[in-house]
A and B are shown apart, each in its own frame.
Chain A
Amino acid sequence: MRSDRIVAVILLLMGVFVFMEGLSIPRAALQREPGAGAFPMLLGVLMSVLAVALFVSAGRKRKAPVRPPAPAEAVEKARAVQEPLPARLKRIGWVALTLAVYFILLKILGFLAASVLFGVIYLYLIYRQRILSSLFTAVLLAAFGFLLFEVLLKVPLPEFLESIK
């Protein structure tokens, strides 16, 4: 598989980097201790060897991975709207971006407001739920999370304008 070969090359580069970094870590003053670099060097070697093994095995003609009947997957596949890959990746990209904005907003709007906003966008825009039910669900879940962590478990959650204070 081409993707396996690309992964193998990335892994090989990573292996060399990890090995070199391990090599550059000075040995401890204690003569008997192999030092903080020894284990990374070992990992670097293992990564490189496995990368070569993956590259070589990816080139071999092989059987496709066969699985025993997994009804869940069959049901999921049957149910799934088969969209082209870019459309699916776009949706995942949007959610990742929404999550990233949510993390930034947590420190500006505080946990409750940021979570409600994230929840509404997630349910209304991504999952196409109705706006009122999205709002209701988002408020309910954010309030539950707040009660559980801030009130019951005493975890100080981000407050309004915390990053500016």
Chain B
Amino acid sequence: MGGFEQLLHGFEVAATPINIMWAFLGVTVGTLIGVLPGVGPVTGIALLLPLTFGRDPAGALILLAGIYYGAMYGGSTTSILANIPGESSSVMTAVEGYELSKKGRGGVALGISAIGSFIAGTIGVVLLGFFAPTIAGLAIKFGPPEYFGLMMVSFTLVAALSTNNVIKGLISTVIGLFISIIGIDALTGEQRFTFGLMGLLDGIDFVVVAIGLFAIAELFVNLESMQTPIPQLKAFRFRELLPGADEFKRCLAPILRASGLGFVVGVLPGAGATIASFLDYGMEKSISKTPEKFGKGHLEAVAGVESCNNAAAAGAFVPLLTLGIPGSGSTAVLLAGFMLLGVAPGPTLFTFHPDILWGLIASMYIGNVMLLVLNLPLISVFMQILRVPYPVLSLAICLLSVLGVYSLNNNTFQLWLMLFFGILGYVLRKLDFPLPPMLLGLVLGKMTEEAFRQSLSLSEGHWGIFLQRPISLALFIILAAILAYQAVQIVRHGAYKVRESDDV
């Protein structure tokens, strides 16, 4: 079957009433998560992962993916209207959009964000459908040494690009890898780092760590400031949200440019939506004939940035689906979702689960239409969620965390682990350690160890195998180059760099 026929088949899967319902539920919850400050996509997806256990994998993945890209859409609302970005990828939207709001143009800014996000999201999904099979075809030739090299490069890129201190990013990754090896070794039956605790024999569940590090640690951080409810915001009539024909024409080129840039940046591990949105903002400002308007409420900038982060969200699916390697915290949680549902992403996904894969891709088209329908007329409805006082919201998150973690295997030991990771997450955040790389290390830990051990088995213990095969050698040269560059930067400028992102 060609790509187009497969996509059509995907639509048959995605367009069943139950899967449309999952997509609708996903994008709605995702939009809510994007709207709510303090509940990011990682927390949102991790909290809802337990709800998908035992469900049909296609439907469950459509739900999780919907939450992920729905959050990208929703992030714009509070950024524009209240100067509070729900996601870090919406920071630049807040800079420009809030200025527009102050001028009474908040409605149009919301409208153009939704339209731009729709166009970019759709272009991103088209590109995903086009590129993913090609890359998967290449990846099928990868053996264990190549996979090990690829994972090392990904870890280093994520640590280098998504944090402001590469050493701390790498430490976070290594701690994640260490957590992944706790428990009984599947190959030899050896117990590793269980400290005599029965509850650790099966290892530490990804969901427990993700909920602890993100949901519980976030509660602790917010307890410091005793966050109060967000002020009431003005509601909009539908007509106020639509940009004029002239405005739309001016915004179309930035939207199209952002779609391409966002997709490419999204594909890179570690870059993701936040870096994409900053790059797009810089690019638009440099090519604009009126750069002085930037920072004072520029509609084209809002259109570009919001389009860019949605295209990046689609781009991030390329390494996830084709190589099984996520590039950020939120795609790491998605990967955990895939694994929990018994669907291993990677090149074999195209062979063994084409229904699920193409159903998921097709559902993204449908989801994009739903998001447009949701975002424009229902913005006022979503704003109501901001009326919920933070203490009530945080209690709800707390109970949902407890229920989600308890339901993993119905014992309270997991809850203690969740609390431990909550405290650890809080301490690490205070010490400026990034948490997404830890999730990445944890979710890819088993695969990394497997690739490492299989490689050494193939070579009968000779480490030279990583440098003897051309693709693997190239990957290790790239790794060495990244590390050397980072080392030079640290020697010259110190360990910290200007922080560009906390991409999750």
The answer to whether B192 and A11 have CB atoms under 8 Å apart is no
A residues near B398, Cβ cutoff 8 Å: 99, 118, 122
The answer to whether A71 and B83 have CB atoms under 8 Å apart is yes
B25 at the interface (CB under 8 A from A): no
A residues near B460, Cβ cutoff 8 Å: 31-32
Q: What are the interface flags for B325-338 relative to A under an 8 Å C-beta threshold, 1 for contact and 0 otherwise?
A: 00000000000000
How far apart are A75's CB and chain B's nearest CB, in angstroms?
6
B65 at the interface (CB under 8 A from A): no
The answer to whether A68 and B226 have CB atoms under 8 Å apart is no
Q: DSSP class of A's interface residues: helix, strand, loop or mixed?
A: helix
B residues near A161, Cβ cutoff 8 Å: none
In Å, the complex CA distance between A58 and B497 comes to: 13
In Å, the complex CA distance between A71 and B295 comes to: 13
Q: What are the interface flags for A94-108 relative to B under an 8 Å C-beta threshold, 1 for contact and 0 otherwise?
A: 011001101100110
Q: What are the interface flags for B222-265 relative to A under an 8 Å C-beta threshold, 1 for contact and 0 otherwise?
A: 01111110000000000000000000000000000000000000
Known pairs A38-B453, A50-B170; A157 contacts B406 (CB<8 A): yes
How far apart are A134's CB and chain B's nearest CB, in angstroms?
9
From B225, B426, B498, A81 is in contact (CB under 8 Å) with B225
In Å, the complex CA distance between A80 and B495 comes to: 29
Known pairs A54-B171, A127-B391, A157-B406; A40 contacts B220 (CB<8 A): no
Q: DSSP class of B's interface residues: helix, strand, loop or mixed?
A: helix
The answer to whether B493 and A95 have CB atoms under 8 Å apart is no
From B164, B226, B426, B494, A61 is in contact (CB under 8 Å) with B494
The answer to whether A127 and B226 have CB atoms under 8 Å apart is yes
B13 at the interface (CB under 8 A from A): no
B residues near A28, Cβ cutoff 8 Å: 187-188
A66 at the interface (CB under 8 A from B): yes
How far apart are B470's CB and chain A's nearest CB, in angstroms?
23
Q: What are the interface flags for A117-144 relative to B under an 8 Å C-beta threshold, 1 for contact and 0 otherwise?
A: 0110011001101000000011001100
- A51: nearest residue on chain B (CB-CB)? B171
In Å, the complex CA distance between A156 and B495 comes to: 49
A67 at the interface (CB under 8 A from B): yes
B410 at the interface (CB under 8 A from A): yes
The answer to whether B227 and A76 have CB atoms under 8 Å apart is yes
Interface size class of A (residues with CB under 8 A): 35 or more
B449 at the interface (CB under 8 A from A): yes
B residues near A62, Cβ cutoff 8 Å: 493-496
Known pairs A50-B170, A92-B224; A39 contacts B496 (CB<8 A): no
Contacts of B144-203 to chain A: CB distance below 8 A: 164-165, 167-168, 170-171, 174, 177-178, 181, 185, 187-188, 190, 192-193
Output the residue of B391, B407, B496, B499 with the most chain A CB within 10 A: B391
The answer to whether B419 and A57 have CB atoms under 8 Å apart is no
The answer to whether B399 and A142 have CB atoms under 8 Å apart is yes
B403 at the interface (CB under 8 A from A): yes
The answer to whether A33 and B403 have CB atoms under 8 Å apart is no
How far apart are B457's CB and chain A's nearest CB, in angstroms?
5
B343 at the interface (CB under 8 A from A): no
The answer to whether A153 and B407 have CB atoms under 8 Å apart is yes
The answer to whether B495 and A96 have CB atoms under 8 Å apart is no
The answer to whether B167 and A53 have CB atoms under 8 Å apart is yes
From A58, A67, A149, B499 is in contact (CB under 8 Å) with A67
The answer to whether B170 and A137 have CB atoms under 8 Å apart is no
The answer to whether A155 and B407 have CB atoms under 8 Å apart is yes
The answer to whether B98 and A65 have CB atoms under 8 Å apart is no
Contacts of A71-92 to chain B: CB distance below 8 A: 71-72, 75-77, 79-81, 88, 91-92
B415 at the interface (CB under 8 A from A): yes
B residues near A77, Cβ cutoff 8 Å: 225
B488 at the interface (CB under 8 A from A): no
The answer to whether B452 and A72 have CB atoms under 8 Å apart is no
B219 at the interface (CB under 8 A from A): yes
Known pairs A34-B457, A96-B419; A68 contacts B431 (CB<8 A): no
Known pairs A36-B188, A122-B398, A127-B391; A54 contacts B416 (CB<8 A): no
Output the residue of B91, B449, B495, B496 with the most chain A CB within 10 A: B495
B381 at the interface (CB under 8 A from A): no
The answer to whether B494 and A92 have CB atoms under 8 Å apart is no
The answer to whether A11 and B171 have CB atoms under 8 Å apart is yes
A151 at the interface (CB under 8 A from B): no
B15 at the interface (CB under 8 A from A): no
B20 at the interface (CB under 8 A from A): no
- 6 A-B pairs besides A18-B178, A103-B415, A122-B398 with CB distance below 8 A are A25-B190, A39-B181, A51-B171, A63-B496, A106-B406, A137-B395
User: What are 13 A-B contacts with C-beta separation under 8 Å?
Assistant: A33-B457, A34-B456, A43-B178, A57-B494, A60-B494, A62-B494, A63-B493, A66-B498, A71-B83, A72-B91, A72-B94, A99-B419, A157-B406
Q: Which chain B residues have a beta carbon within 8 Å of chain A's beta carbons?
A: 37, 51, 79, 82-85, 88, 91, 94-95, 98, 164-165, 167-168, 170-171, 174, 177-178, 181, 185, 187-188, 190, 192-193, 219-220, 223-228, 278, 389, 391-392, 394-396, 398-400, 402-403, 406-407, 410, 412, 415-416, 419, 422-423, 426, 431-432, 448-449, 452-453, 456-457, 460-461, 490, 493-496, 498-500
